[in-house]
Amino acid sequence: MVAGFLFGPAGGLSPLHADWKVEDQSTAQDPASPFVHERKLVSKATESGFFAAKRIDLVWFHADRHTFRVIDNGSPVEPRYSGLGAAMIENGALAGCNGGFFLENHQPSGLMIAGGEAAGRFGEGALLSGVVLSSGRRNPYLLRRAEYDAGKYKATDLLQAGPFLVDQGKTVRGLSPENSRRRTFVLHDGDRWFALGMSDAFTLAELGEVLARADFSPSRPIHRALNLDGGTSSGLYLNRGTAGEPLHVEPFKTVRNYLAIVPREVEAVKKGE
């Protein structure tokens, strides 16, 4: 083998495109924290042979103790919150991120249910192919659009988003290889662990490929991954407790809604159950 090249099937040379490299850089955890914060450094060889590293942060929670809550930010003219961090703190949430897509008039793209109040309407299309919700029993779910049944789940909090990046543990086919940008997403391990995540700039195809790798999250393999609104809407917040300063990345623009992680017992009290 010649440095920087691989021999092709016919004996010719082709540029070296090394596989993804995943390095765990998770920071110290607060023993009392209900969340598991993972930080991955992901890189891939370029044609020049240098690795360009990108960061991915994950905030995992267990469905027996926490669930999703959608926080409506209202009008862009007079938003209810000054930003992601303020929305989390004012609603007693220790972790959360930006939510789903919204239209030019700032109305939700697809259905949004926040605290039992619905806005928008249940829509179709790749950008609305998934549903993240908290049911009437406060269970969190990450579903395909066709799997959602309003009468069955009785959602109190719900967002439509998309596309799916990973399904059944495999990268979804047909994801766009264009438009590398910062991303936020929801993960499910197929059992009782869910996560919110934020990455540096990836294309949808790249991120789907990375998240489906067996070595990306060995302790909690990714069963499903759903893309949220990305680019300038992306943000992630985590109160790290005694482990250090909060992980706090604000969206660059005012978003319509936020997706928070909240204790299930708090939600029960809020709803009088």
Digit-coded pLDDT (tens) for 15-71: 334 489 999 999 888 999 999 999 999 998 777 776 789 999 999 999 999 999 999
How far apart CA 163 and CA 151 sit, in angstroms, is 24
* Opening angle at CA 163, ends 35 and 228, nearest 5: 40
Please state the rounded mean pLDDT for residues 165-187: 97
Digit-coded pLDDT (tens) for 159-168: 999 999 999 9
Q: What is the largest CA-CA distance in the chain?
A: 71
What are the structure tokens assigned to 260, written together?
Answer: 């928070």
3-state secondary structure of 264: helix
Q: Are 132 and 226 spatial neighbours (Cβ–Cβ below 8 Å)? A: yes
pLDDT reading at 273 higher than 60: no
What are the angstrom distances between the C-alpha of 26 and each of 13, 20, 57?
Answer: 38, 18, 9
Percent of the chain with pLDDT over 90: 81
Give the range among 42-46, 107-111, 182-186 with minimum mean pLDDT: 42-46
Q: Cβ-count burial of 203 within 10 angstroms (0-12 exposed, 13-18 middle, 19+ buried)?
A: middle
What per-residue confidence (pLDDT) applies to 266?
A: 55
Q: Are 110 and 98 spatial neighbours (Cβ–Cβ below 8 Å)? A: no
User: Which of the 8 DSSP states describes residue 148?
Assistant: -
| 147 or 9: which leads in pLDDT | 147
pLDDT reading at 151 higher than 80: yes
Beta bridge partners of 170: 167
What per-residue confidence (pLDDT) applies to 7?
A: 31
What does pLDDT average to over the chain?
A: 90
How many residues would you count in the chain? 273
Q: For the whole prediction, is pTM greater than 0.75?
A: yes
Please state the rounded mean pLDDT for residues 190-213: 97
What per-residue confidence (pLDDT) applies to 50?
A: 67
> Cα-atom radius of gyration of the chain, to the nearest Å?
19
If one counts every other C-beta atom within 10 angstroms of the C-beta of residue 136, the result is: 14
What are the structure tokens assigned to 63, written together?
Answer: 């469905």
Place of tokens 């893309």: 227
Digit-coded pLDDT (tens) for 219-260: 999 999 999 999 999 999 999 999 889 999 999 999 999 999
